[in-house]
Amino acid sequence: MKRILALLLSLLLVTTAAAKTVDITGNESFLLWNRCNNNECEESFLLFGYNSCTDSVEMYSVVKAYAESKGVTMYAVDGSLLGIREALGGGSLELPAIVVYNKSTRALGGGDGIKSLSALKAIADPILDARNPKIQLTIGSDIMLCDGKKIKLEVPATIINGRTMVPLRAVFDALGVAVTWNGQSKHITAKKGGIELGLTVGNNLMSVNYDYVKLDSPPVILNGKTMVPARAISEPFGADVSWDPTTRTVTIQ
């Protein structure tokens, strides 16, 4: 039975990545909690527990609207949240209750501490605002999606030497990475947190703090824009990169 539930939950996470609200059972919430505590979750989301027979249901629409504003899925559980209580080692959360995840980072709250939008934001904002946005670029398309918002590109993503090349400035701006450009040496410095990248147009060596990484395809300038390999420049800043060969779309998150 547990294997069947685990399979159903894995399918749920895969097929509802773009969904905004998904009603699940207490067993599914328990599996979801354990899966994320084992660092197996690949998405940011809210797990919301309420009781439809009490006033806790009033927060349902509040949490749903908040989740939509953040571009994340809300998994809603109507019931006692038994799974969450067990996962907390016998502790309890009063309803309504919220658990917010950004991959392996989480925060939770319940009862009077989450009966308003301001209380919800106080718990969830620090977690969700720290996550990387979901960036999607399709080969040949001049539109980049950033958490669903369309951004016009002057130069679309392309493939060079078998590697997906993306416009550096557009991607780094979306990731919150500060960029410095030296026009004379054609050198780029990119900084965020304690990570600093160094790249030079035409050079297949990229510095990551005090280490060097060899690039399969060095930075190039196309129509006045610096293009860089998507995976190489995103992963040092904690972003995951995936490729959909059917749509020829790269996702950075």
pLDDT computed for residue 5 by the predictor: 40
Cβ atoms within 10 Å of 228's Cβ, excluding its own: 28
Helix/strand/coil percent split, the chain, to 5: 30, 35, 35
pLDDT computed for residue 179 by the predictor: 96
Segments in the chain below pLDDT 50: 1-19, 82-83, 86-90
Q: 208-219: string of b/e by CB count within 10 Å (b at 16+)?
A: beeeeeebebbb
pLDDT computed for residue 100 by the predictor: 87
- 36: tokens are 């994320």
pLDDT computed for residue 7 by the predictor: 42
pLDDT computed for residue 40 by the predictor: 67
Domains of the chain, each with CATH number or no CATH: 2-128 (3.40.30.10), 135-252 (3.30.457.10)
Say what angle helices 59-70 and 117-128 make with each other, to 10 degrees: 30
Alpha helices by DSSP H, 101-237: 117-128, 168-175, 230-234
pLDDT computed for residue 29 by the predictor: 75
Alpha-carbon distance 50 to 52, whole Å?
6
- 251: tokens are 């996702």
pLDDT computed for residue 89 by the predictor: 40
pTM of the predicted protein model: 0.62
For 103, the 3-state DSSP assignment is coil
